[in-house]
Each structure stands twice: as C-alpha cells, then as structure tokens.
Amino acid sequence: MSEFTAARAHDAVLRHVEESLRSGALKLGDRLPGERALAEQFAISRASVRNAIRALEVMGVVRSATGSGPNSGTIVVSNPSSALGGALRMHVASHQLPLKDIVEARTMTETWALEHAATAPWTPEQIDDARRLLEAMDDDGLPSQIFTLLDAQFHVALSALAGNVVVSTMMESMREAIRDYISDAAVRQGAWEEVVHVLRAHHHGIFDAVEARDGVLAARLVREHIEWFYGKAI
C-alpha cells in the first residue's frame, strides 16, 4: 500500500467516526468495533486502523485500554482541553507560538469570562469549587509546584462560571500549554514566600469580586494579576 493510499485509509476511519458522532450513531461511552471488524468494514489493513485510533486518542475523542473488563476496548470519550493543550504546548516548545502571545490570549479569554460570569446563572455549589481551591492555596506549607497546579485549577474554575464550554476548554488548554513555564518560573523565584503572599492576595480579591458579581472589577483584577506574575516571572 502506498503512503498516499495508507493516508486515505486512515482518513476513512476518522470520517466514519466523525459522521457517526454527528448523527448520534456513536455517543459518549460507546465502544468502537475492534480492529479486525473495522479493517474488514473499510477493506484496509489493521495497521491503518491502529493509526486512526491513535489519532483519535491524541484528539481526545477515544480512550483505548487492553483486557476484557468493562473499561477495555476503544471507548468514545470527550477530552478536548487535553488534546488542545498538548498541541499548543508542542508549538510553544517549538517557538512557533510565542509564550507572550499565549499569555495575551489567556488574558483576553479570562477577562471576558470573569466579566460575563457576573450575569451568568451559576450556583453556590459551582463557585464553591473555586472557594475550596482558594482555601487550599492558603496553606503555607504547600510546595511551589503544588501551589501552581491549584492556581491553574482555580482560574479554570472561575472562568467556567461564565457558562461557555468553549471558553472553558480554551482556558484549560492555554493553562496546559504553559504549565511547565509557570512551574519553572515559580521554582526560579528567589523570594517565593514573598511572591506567593502577593498571589494569595490577588486570588482573594479576584474571588471576592466574582462572588459579588462585579464583572468589571473581576476582569480588571485578573488582568493585573496575570500581568504582574508574568512580568515578574517569565
């Protein structure tokens, strides 16, 4: 089979899965047929099927597991932020996507989200997710690496209050794309105790503004917070 033909065989499986998802023939939690069945269905090699499955895994569309239990096989999932975050991280590492541009995009996205969260119909239970992360970050014994992980989750949790799943996915993706740079920057800080004190104060101010549904203040505070940290650390 030529390289071109193999690529077309690979695409046939991807198109089939896309069309099946769009039509509802495939839903979250469903299993794809096995390699042999797909190879016979499309008259292609099992190697081409495996390539298609790997591509779907990278996209966050399926999860594959060996064995014979209830979680075995190739199962349809939905994990777009992981897939987008991984792709962005690779392009940041290759210097094709400047870190500065990712930070600017994150600032635009998060300020929009917090401003719109002011009028979104979120519940007390939803904001409690961010509150728990805020309280966890107040622990003075947290290593910087753990703090930055909680920090990322905190920002994503607040942005999710806007109720826009695409914006939430983009936020998670951008945080994933620059997570190593943030962790490294935190480690490099010679006076981390002073930095983390400022970050905690920023977080509490941002949270209070969101909880009070003051979107203008929340957006301004998160912009100042992001610019302060990256100006100091990157």
For position 43, which CATH number holds? Answer: 1.10.10.10
Q: How far apart are CA 217 and CA 84, in angstroms?
A: 30
Q: Beta 62-65 vs 73-76: how paired, if at all?
A: antiparallel
Question: Cβ(15)–Cβ(55) under 8 Å?
Answer: no
Residues 168 and 124 placed together within one structural domain of the fold: yes
Residues 179 and 88 placed together within one structural domain of the fold: yes
pLDDT range class, residue 9, cuts 50, 70, 90:
confident
pLDDT range class, residue 187, cuts 50, 70, 90:
low
pLDDT at residue number 2? 46
Q: How far apart are CA 130 and CA 167, in angstroms?
A: 17
Residues 175 and 135 placed together within one structural domain of the fold: yes
Residues 136 and 217 placed together within one structural domain of the fold: yes
Q: How far apart are CA 56 and CA 10, in angstroms?
A: 11
Residues 42 and 87 placed together within one structural domain of the fold: no
Question: Cβ(62)–Cβ(77) under 8 Å?
Answer: yes
Number of domains in the chain: 2
Residues 25 and 103 placed together within one structural domain of the fold: no
Q: Which pair of structure tokens corresponds to residue 21?
A: 């998802």
- Percent residues over pLDDT 90 in the chain: 41
Q: How far apart are CA 138 and CA 122, in angstroms?
A: 24
Question: In the predicted model, is pLDDT for residue 111 greater than 80?
Answer: yes
Question: In the predicted model, is pLDDT for residue 185 greater than 80?
Answer: no
> Which residue, 48, 76, 104, sits at the end of a domain?
76
| Mean pLDDT confidence for 197-211 | 96
Residues 56 and 119 placed together within one structural domain of the fold: no
Residues 195 and 161 placed together within one structural domain of the fold: yes
The region of weakest confidence among 106-120, 163-177, 203-217 is 163-177
In the chain, the N- to C-terminal Cα span, in Å, equals: 49
* Residues written for the chain: 234
pLDDT tens-place string over residues 155-173: 999 999 999 999 998 898 8
> Which residue, 76, 105, 128, sits at the end of a domain?
76
Q: How far apart are CA 209 and CA 204, in angstroms?
A: 9
The region of weakest confidence among 26-40, 57-71, 125-139 is 57-71
> Which residue, 12, 46, 76, sits at the end of a domain?
76
Residues 189 and 150 placed together within one structural domain of the fold: yes
* CATH classification of the domain holding 92: 1.20.120.530
What is the chain written as a DSSP string? --HHHHHHHHHHHHHHHHHHHHHTSS-TTPBPPPHHHHHHHHT--HHHHHHHHHHHHHTTSEEEE-SSSTT-EEEE---HHHHHHHHHHHHHHTTSS-HHHHHHHHHHHHHHHHHHHTTS---HHHHHHHHHHHHHTT-TT--HHHHHHHHHHHHHHHHHTT--HHHHHHHHHHHHHTHHHHHHHHHH-TTHHHHHHHHHHHHHHHHHHHHTT-HHHHHHHHHHHHHHHHHHH-
Question: In the predicted model, is pLDDT for residue 58 greater than 70?
Answer: yes
pLDDT at residue number 3? 45
pLDDT at residue number 77? 83
pLDDT range class, residue 186, cuts 50, 70, 90:
low
pLDDT at residue number 71? 64
Residues 41 and 96 placed together within one structural domain of the fold: no
Containing domain of residue 44, as a range? 3-76
Residues 44 and 141 placed together within one structural domain of the fold: no
Q: How far apart are CA 97 and CA 93, in angstroms?
A: 8
Residues 119 and 205 placed together within one structural domain of the fold: yes
pLDDT range class, residue 189, cuts 50, 70, 90:
low
| Mean pLDDT confidence for 40-52 | 89
Q: How far apart are CA 4 and CA 1, in angstroms?
A: 8
